[in-house]
Amino acid sequence: MALLKIITYPEKSLSHPSAKVETIDEKIHELIRDMGETMSQESGVGLAAPQVGVNKRILVYNARAADPEDDGSEEKITALINPEIIEASGSYLSENEGCLSVVDFRADVKRYETVRVRAQDINGRELAFEARGLPAVIMQHEIDHLDGILFIDRISALKRAMYKKRILKQIKEARAS
């Protein structure tokens, strides 16, 4: 297994929709293992393939992230291939949402309280499940990545503009030094 480089905003590839996975082979399995290791190393609860430079509809997440009984000592990494939200309901405020690709920024984001997701597992079997609360937020956040959407695209234009200005200033300063 290998740690992968996480791509960060303003990298343009993060705004491109991902391609459907047609064949689940050993390369895909290796990518999933590497994504899981990378997500764990970075203390994330989810990671989408575009965040590591792979334009494929794959995500991994910690299925225990919302378990109040879990002390955080053991993760359960789950992979979804070609996931899509097929139903959504309710309203939920994802407080202080962050992203491994949006460095040093957190914001409140309006999300659905419940989502129904359809996907394939690592063996290509079709599955469907319902997620509520934090797991629903994780699904929406990671599937947004697969659709070329960052969470900052879902906040106010003013907050987004302030973040973009700060990041562009940091990039300019780094290039100057």
- The tens digit of pLDDT for each residue in 131-168 reads 999 999 999 999 999 999 999 999 999 999 999 999 99
The answer to whether residue 68 sits within a structural domain is yes
| 4 part of a folded domain | no
Enter the DSSP assignment of 18: P
**pLDDT score of 110 more than 90:** yes
pLDDT tens, residue by residue, 54-99 = 999 999 999 887 665 655 556 789 999 999 999 999 999 999 999 9
Give the residue numbers annotated as catalytic, written as ranges: 142
Domain that holds residue 91: 12-176
Q: Which regions of the chain does DSSP assign to beta strands (E)? A: 46-48, 58-62, 77-89, 92-99, 102-111, 114-120, 126-132
Q: Tell me what pLDDT residue 75 has.
A: 76
Mean pLDDT for 27-56 is 97
Q: Which of 110, 112, 94, 101 is nearest to 155 (CA)?
A: 110
Q: Does residue 49 lie in a domain region?
A: yes
Averaged pLDDT for residues 41-51: 96
CATH, residue 54:
3.90.45.10
**pLDDT at residue number 73:** 56
Q: How many domains would you assign to the chain?
A: 1
Would 97 be classed as within a structural domain?
yes
Tell whether 2 is covered by a domain. no
Mean pLDDT of 92-107: 95
| Residues forming beta bridges with residue 107, ordered by sequence position | 97
How far apart are alpha carbons 144 and 151 in whole angstroms? 8
Closest CA to 99 of 143, 135, 152, 63: 152
- pTM of structure: 0.93
pLDDT of residue 64: 85
The confidence score (pLDDT) of residue 72 equals 53
Res 53 pLDDT > 60: yes
Q: Decide if 70 is inside a domain.
A: yes
Q: Is residue 90 part of a domain?
A: yes
- Of the two residues 20 and 71, the one the predictor is more confident about is 20
